[in-house]
């Protein structure tokens, strides 16, 4: 079977961090690849503020956070979004809704399996059942405080494995609390849970897909043109 244009695009190699220009195997973060695919002037992205104005700030921040946190074998999942980031910038209220969605759903879907693994099933149920911003934020704060206290207690008993899990709960819940104001911190929730729970990265990428459905959608980009732009960038390097 002949590969289609999108299969060709998937061969672009994503790397953690920012890059001055794409290398022969790709060698960019997801936002830099999206810039090339959209036909915009290439620039290195060291922070969300470096993205073109047409990129939704919370979506770009979350995508960048995942890009930098995901292991090499998982990062190619993000290439499915290379044509979906440019043109998503929207009104402040929509951008706030995107940030809130990523924060709440990180509490509801990513924290619970980590809490279960750390021996906190009741708190996992509470996080999963959170029905809105206030409940999710309160649950995350409880996980943050309980994780810290219980991790210290486990350490004093020299229960090192349990202490490591509880310390991860505290760190990850702290990121979840911060995510209500900074979408990139939602990616840190996934980063904190992934070493202890299988299947976290597909869940995190699924949240990006759902967040992209909120508000303005990216205009359709011709696959053949996107492929040619990516190939031209590779050749120029």
152-171 pLDDT tens trace: 998 888 988 889 999 999 99
Predicted pLDDT at 2: 44
Residue (of 6, 35, 201, 226) closest to 109 by Cα position: 201
23-54 pLDDT tens trace: 555 567 888 888 888 888 887 788 888 898 99
Q: If you count them, how many residues does the chain have? A: 237
What does the pLDDT average to over 179-193? Answer: 97
CB burial readout 166-203, b (16+ within 10 A) else e: bbbbbbbbbbbbbbbebbbbbbbbbbbbbebbeebbeb
Predicted pLDDT at 127: 98
101-140 pLDDT tens trace: 999 999 999 999 999 999 999 999 999 999 899 999 999 9
Looking at 50-131, list the stretches that DSSP marks H as alpha helix, in order from N- to C-terminal side: 57-69, 92-105, 111-117, 121-128
Question: Measured between alpha carbons, how far is 160 from 156 in angstroms, rounded to an integer?
Answer: 9
Question: Measured between alpha carbons, how far is 104 from 97 in angstroms, rounded to an integer?
Answer: 10
Question: Measured between alpha carbons, how far is 169 from 53 in angstroms, rounded to an integer?
Answer: 35
Predicted pLDDT at 1: 41
Percentage of the residues of the chain whose pLDDT score is greater than 70: 88
58-75 pLDDT tens trace: 999 999 999 999 998 898
């Amino acid at each position: 079977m002949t590969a289609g244009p999108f299969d060709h695009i998937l061969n672009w190699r994503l790397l953690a961090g920012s890059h001055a220009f794409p290398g022969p195997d790709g060698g960019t973060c997801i936002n830099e690849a999206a810039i090339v695919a959209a036909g915009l002037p290439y620039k290195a992205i060291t922070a969300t503020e470096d993205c073109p104005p047409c990129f939704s700030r919370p979506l770009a921040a979350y995508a960048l956070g995942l890009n930098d946190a995901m292991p090499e074998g998982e990062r190619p999942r993000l290439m499915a979004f290379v044509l979906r980031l440019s043109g998503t910038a929207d009104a402040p209220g929509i951008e706030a809704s995107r940030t809130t969605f990523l924060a709440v759903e990180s509490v509801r879907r990513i924290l619970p399996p980590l809490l279960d693994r750390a021996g906190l099933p009741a708190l996992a149920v509470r996080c999963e059942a959170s029905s809105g911003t206030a409940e999710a934020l309160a649950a995350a704060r409880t996980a943050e405080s309980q994780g810290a206290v219980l991790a210290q207690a486990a350490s004093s008993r020299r229960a090192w494995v349990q202490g490591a899990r509880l310390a991860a709960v505290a760190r990850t819940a702290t990121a979840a609390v911060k995510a209500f104001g900074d979408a990139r911190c939602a990616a840190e929730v996934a980063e904190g849970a992934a070493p202890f729970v299988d299947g976290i990265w597909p869940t995190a990428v699924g949240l990006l897909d759902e967040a992209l459905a909120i508000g303005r959608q990216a205009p359709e980009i011709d696959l053949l043109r996107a492929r040619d732009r990516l190939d031209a960038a590779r050749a120029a390097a």
